[in-house]
Chains A and B, each alone.
Chain A
Amino acid sequence: MSTIDKVTDIMRDLFEDYSGPITPAIAAKDVPDWDSLAHVKLMVQVERAFGIRFEAREVSQPQNVGELVALIDQKLAAKG
């Protein structure tokens, strides 16, 4: 399963009222429940699903799904 597919699963579960597309361009403003608190939950669920840990500054870094996927892939690559 690709990174974006796994992220999509997490987002479908977390943003249960959102049925629109989940593509790299989708950002918080596009998903009504994606506020700052939900973002923290999203990032922690991503950490669990991928077995990675974000630095404090990285938690608020991704501005859209594509940036989140890139950050995850970068963390996975660094993990080796």
Chain B
Amino acid sequence: MSLAPAQFAQLNRLIDLQLEVFPEHRGFLTKRFADSDAAHLDFCEQLSGNVFKIAGSDIRRIVEDYRWLSDMVLEEELFFRREGRYRLSKFSDALEQVYANTPFMAKYMNGLLASQLWWRNHTEVLRYFRDGFLPGNRQGFTHLEVGPGHGLFLGLAAAAPNGASAEGWDISAASLENTRAALSAMGASAGIALKEVNIFTAPEGQFDSITFSEVLEHLEEPLAALKILRGLLKPGGRIFVNAPVNSPAPDHLYLFRTPEEVRDMVAAAGFEIVDTLYAPPSGAGLDKARRQELSISAAVIAKKSS
């Protein structure tokens, strides 16, 4: 039986593929889509289309790697619940154990791509970026994403009618190549410049808009990075920061225990907070997610004062 109404054909096709390789996930996905309104499902349908385009003939590998990711996260969850902290705290350890392990990274990235649909908080943040952040940018905005990963945020930014240009920066050439391939597959690569840049050596004051999504938690000193990003913005420019709370993963170093900690760090970097979205995981409201210390996505829209 389909978990979404029949008109959302690509979404249902992807759900069916996922359940073929991960039948035990039916209960979770049923909860995930249970209270979705038409607008949310419509967004999921578009997102499913992009996942199919990015995956191409590898779609089965994407859903298999999502299953692998789910098992891996359970091991991290066990450590996190026992010890009350993330397993790693040093970037050098994450580099050695995760980033330098190419086969591991490929599976990890594939699994995370599918999670953009299956983890409701991930989907809600993407939607908030499209509908709550991009329209508030000035006409003809110049955009930068640091750590563009799967390219979904960058593709949305490049497609914004009020945007003039979009760039993606990363310190990893291999990661940029993945972003390039994903954007090309989505038909969104035109006019997007992807560059190997370290933010700590970049010139100041270039952009009207910056995305920094799911990067803070990978850093030893996230506040220092936010301060650098503030320098990269023009006066009046806006930033979209997204970081997970209570979300153990093999390469997560910095533990945010509440969504307010993310917001307060953005403010401490000198930004003026404009708006926030605290998105609870599938099947829980925000109050329950706080009480049970579940993973919450904290998205913050902030501004560099003129």
Q: Which residues of A contact B (CB under 8 A)?
A: 14, 16-17, 29, 32-33, 35-37, 40-41, 43-44, 47, 56, 59
B81 touches A29 (CB 8 A): no
Nearest CB on A from B34, distance (A): 10
Closest residue of chain A to B24 (Cβ to Cβ) is: A36
Question: Do B31 and A32 touch across chains, with their CB atoms under 8 A apart?
Answer: yes
Beta-carbon contact of A40 and B292 below 8 Å:
no
Instruction: Give a binary string over B53-94; 1 marks a CB under 8 Å from any A CB, 0 the rest.
Output: 000000000000000001001100110011000000000000
Collect the chain B residues with CB atoms within 8 Å of residue A17's CB. Answer: 288
- Among the listed A16, A35, A40, which residue makes an inter-chain contact with B81, where contact means beta carbons less than 8 Å apart? A40
- From DSSP, what is the main secondary structure of chain B's interface residues? helix
B28 at the interface (CB under 8 A from A): yes
Which of A14, A41, A47 gathers the greatest number of chain B CB atoms within 10 Å?
A41
List the A side residues contacting B81 at CB < 8 Å: 40-41, 44
Contact A40 B288 (CB under 8 A): no
Report chain B residues within 8 Å CB of A37: 73-74, 77
Complex alpha-carbon distance, A74 and B82, angstroms: 21
The interface residues of chain A lying within 8 Å CB-to-CB of B291 are 16
23 contacts between A and B (CB under 8 A): A14-B292, A16-B291, A17-B288, A29-B27, A32-B27, A32-B31, A32-B283, A33-B284, A35-B27, A36-B70, A37-B73, A37-B74, A40-B74, A40-B77, A41-B77, A41-B81, A41-B292, A43-B78, A44-B78, A44-B82, A47-B82, A56-B78, A59-B78
- CA–CA, A30 to B74, complex, Å? 21
Question: Which of chain A's residues has its CB closest to B284's CB?
Answer: A33
Verify A36–B74 contact, CB threshold 8 A: yes
Across the interface, do A16 and B28 meet the contact criterion of CB distance under 8 Å? no
